[in-house]
Structure 1
Amino acid sequence: MPFAHYLTFHRAARYRRARISSFATLNERELRRRRYDAEVLRSLAVGLETTGDSVRIATALARLAVDDLLATWALIPILQGSTM
């Protein structure tokens, strides 16, 4: 009977190790995604700071939506004669 307890303990420990490693993998993936998002937003902010043209700003926002946010299409309304 002690051997059966040992097997039960061993299986439970193996199960816990597998769950912990899967959580670590998910956490690492989430951290990488957040780092990428921060880099994309930083580059967008730098690009928007150098331009005052509303068409270029709308283009940059649409590119962000399609390229980085994986949108199928983006609609950015621009008022005629508006300045930023």
Structure 2
Amino acid sequence: MDRLRAAFDRVVEAHPDGHVLVVGHGLTLGAWLATLDPGLGLVALPNASVSTVQVDADGTRRVLAAGVDVAAQGFGSARSVPTSAPVPAA
């Protein structure tokens, strides 16, 4: 998480006056969003989803949107569970 926060800090510092698109793995981006807004928990991000973070002049970061499914990919995993997989007993 320290490396992740440092990477996003460098992105913010390099682009103080503009919008930035960051593309990455859902788990990485979801974990970062959770550090910004602990109330979110670890966010399950659909493939190709869009999250929006606002960085204020004082450096305050706010999550405006998390995991907006603009591509209608759904929340399924990249690898589906085979239909022949045994169902665990309750």
TM-score (ref. length: structure 1): 0.32
* TM-score, normalised via structure 2 length: 0.30
> Larger C-alpha radius of gyration, 1 or 2?
1
In proportion to residue count, which structure has more strand?
Answer: 2
Q: Comparing both structures, which one devotes a greater share of its residues to helix?
A: 1
